[in-house]
């Protein structure tokens, strides 16, 4: 385990199993329908690529970069689109794939933005949900794990752009960000 990690919150094995379950559920819900999977860079990257491999049927992948944190551990509340989707989603079933819903600021903005493009449907798949921190209501259609208010890194989640590559979700030691 990395020395900045206090404990493993969700192991590689637990992630693998839950992601497979979510993929199966999404495949069943969209049977016979086309789906656009939208990866919210960069945090969702690991979840997105693992989840996509468990979805059967006609799937296309697209990417959006929507950042609200910068290098701070606290959300600024301001959402910016740094890179937009390559293709229009008008008339499409969109599943937004996120690593975590924290204050809800990012997803509230993003879901509203995608719905305004006249998608046929817009749903959210979020690996982690931290309801204790919620400031804006966000409905999570496909949820991996509900977690307490710990600062977590790994499996895509960063602290100051670091530790995304860890294969598990770990709790960052307080002394790293204090």
- Residues marked as catalytic: 102
Q: Whole-number minimum distance, CB 9 to ligand PRP, in Å?
A: 16
Q: Among 106, 114, 140, 170, which residue sits at the site for ligand PRP (rule: CB under 6 A)?
A: 106
Give the interface size with ligand PRP as a residue count (CB under 6 A).
19
According to the binding rule CB under 6 A, does residue 152 interact with ligand PRP? no
Q: Among 99, 111, 147, 155, which residue sits at the site for ligand PRP (rule: CB under 6 A)?
A: 99
According to the binding rule CB under 5 A, does residue 151 interact with Mg ion? no
Residue span 42-71 as binding mask against Mn ion, x where in contact by CB under 5 A, dash where not: -x----------------------------
Rounded-to-integer distance, Cα 2 and Cα 18, Å: 23
Q: Among 36, 94, 102, 144, which residue sits at the site for ligand PRP (rule: CB under 6 A)?
A: 102
Rounded-to-integer distance, Cα 21 and Cα 77, Å: 32
Q: C-alpha distances in angstroms, 30 versus 11, 46, 100?
A: 29, 22, 23
Q: Which stretch binds ligand PRP (CB under 6 A): 1-9, 19-27, 61-69, 115-123?
A: 61-69
- The sheet carrying 142-146 orders its strands as 80-83, 59-67, 35-41, 93-101, 121-129, 142-146
């Amino acid at each position: 385990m990395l020395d900045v990690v206090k404990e493993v919150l969700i192991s590689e094995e637990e992630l693998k199993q839950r992601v497979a379950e979510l993929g199966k559920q999404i495949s069943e819900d969209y049977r016979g329908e086309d789906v656009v999977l939208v990866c919210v860079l960069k945090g969702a990257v690991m979840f997105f690529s693992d989840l996509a491999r468990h979805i059967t049927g006609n799937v296309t992948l697209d990417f959006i970069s929507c950042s609200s944190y910068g290098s701070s551990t606290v959300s600024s509340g301001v959402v910016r689109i740094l890179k937009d989707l390559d293709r229009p989603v008008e008339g499409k079933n969109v599943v937004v794939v996120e690593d975590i819903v924290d204050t809800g600021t990012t997803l509230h903005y993003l879901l509203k933005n995608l719905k305004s493009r006249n998608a046929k449907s817009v749903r959210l798949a979020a690996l982690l949900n931290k309801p204790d921190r919620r400031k804006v209501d966000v409905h999570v259609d496909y949820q991996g794990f509900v977690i307490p208010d710990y600062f977590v890194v790994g499996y895509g989640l960063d602290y100051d752009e670091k530790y995304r590559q860890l294969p598990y979700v770990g709790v960052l030691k307080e002394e790293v960000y204090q």
